[in-house]
């Protein structure tokens, strides 16, 4: 794959398949969307972004800002969507912001508009407040990761894996915690915002504020769970993606 940014998670799709491009959370990788890709279904062409510095891109330097991530990803993303009949974006946590900025750039630079932008587990871009998680000590950062879930405790107990995980996660938290967005930044595609009903960082009110960042339609829904509610709600979230994408394709 070299320094390629996208990984296909679905079986070989048929021509004309709707593409769903997934953007991982802080510290996450493309494979984290494997279960969701299965739930979305093989009739969709599901791809996921692989950020530098992890898994098969582990020897590449980490990227320290949201804008630089989008700059690096954009050329390959343009090539991917230009021949597609239609596509949607799905981001979780930090990935929601990367997806939003990527969709904005696609609209501005090549006139490619997503059918739907799915923003998961993340407050609206202009509601983002400066954070300090990236400044925590290693011990405190481990505690933070364990409290929100999504990281197997056994990996954090292994010194070698812990060092890798903390380096990547600290970098990504720095990127999202230093990200700034104006209230007038919008996309023209519909936005569907979702979150776990016990996520302290993305309440229903937090995700409803995404409505101000689209000139299209908006829908918000909560699911049972915390920040990583996707793990226990893969099937209904997959159904939501299919329903909303189909609805957008018909409109």
Instruction: Report the half-sphere exposure of 240 (CA within 13 A, side-chain side).
Output: 23
Could you confirm whether 96 is annotated as catalytic?
A: no
Whether the CB-CB separation of 207 and 119 falls below 8 Å is answered with yes
Pairing of strands 6-8, 19-23: unpaired
Active-site pick, 88, 93, 96, 120: 93
Q: What is the DSSP string of 157-171?
A: HSHHHHHHHHHHHHH
Q: Can you give the C-alpha Rg of the chain in angstroms?
A: 17
Q: Are strands 45-49 and 6-8 parallel, antiparallel or unpaired?
A: antiparallel
Q: How far apart are CA 193 and CA 195, in angstroms?
A: 7
| 227 is a catalytic site residue | yes
List the catalytic residue out of 18, 25, 92, 227: 227
Instruction: Name the residues annotated as catalytic.
Output: 93, 227
């Amino acid at each position: 794959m070299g320094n390629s940014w996208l990984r296909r998670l679905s079986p070989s799709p048929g021509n004309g398949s709707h593409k769903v491009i997934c953007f991982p959370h802080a510290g996450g990788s493309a494979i984290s969307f494997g279960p969701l890709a299965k739930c979305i279904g093989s009739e969709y062409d599901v791809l996921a972004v692989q950020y530098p510095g992890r898994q098969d891109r582990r020897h590449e330097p980490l990227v320290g800002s949201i804008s630089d991530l989008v700059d690096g990803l954009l050329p390959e993303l343009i090539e991917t969507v230009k021949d597609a009949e239609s596509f949607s974006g799905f981001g979780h946590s930090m990935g929601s912001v990367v997806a939003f900025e990527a969709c904005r750039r696609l609209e501005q630079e090549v006139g490619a508009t997503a059918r739907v932008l799915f923003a998961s587990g993340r407050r609206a871009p202009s509601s983002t407040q400066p954070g300090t998680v990236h400044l925590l000590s290693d011990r405190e950062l481990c505690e933070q990761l364990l409290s929100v879930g999504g990281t197997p405790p056994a990996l954090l107990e292994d010194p070698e894996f812990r060092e890798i995980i903390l380096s990547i996660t600290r970098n990504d938290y720095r990127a999202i915690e230093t990200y700034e967005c104006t209230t007038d930044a919008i996309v023209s595609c519909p936005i569907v915002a979702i979150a776990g009903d016990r996520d302290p960082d993305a309440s229903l009110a937090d995700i409803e504020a995404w409505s101000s960042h689209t000139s299209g339609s908006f829908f918000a829904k909560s699911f049972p769970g915390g920040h990583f509610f996707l793990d226990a709600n893969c099937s209904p979230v997959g159904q939501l993606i299919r329903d909303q994408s189909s609805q957008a394709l018909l409109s």
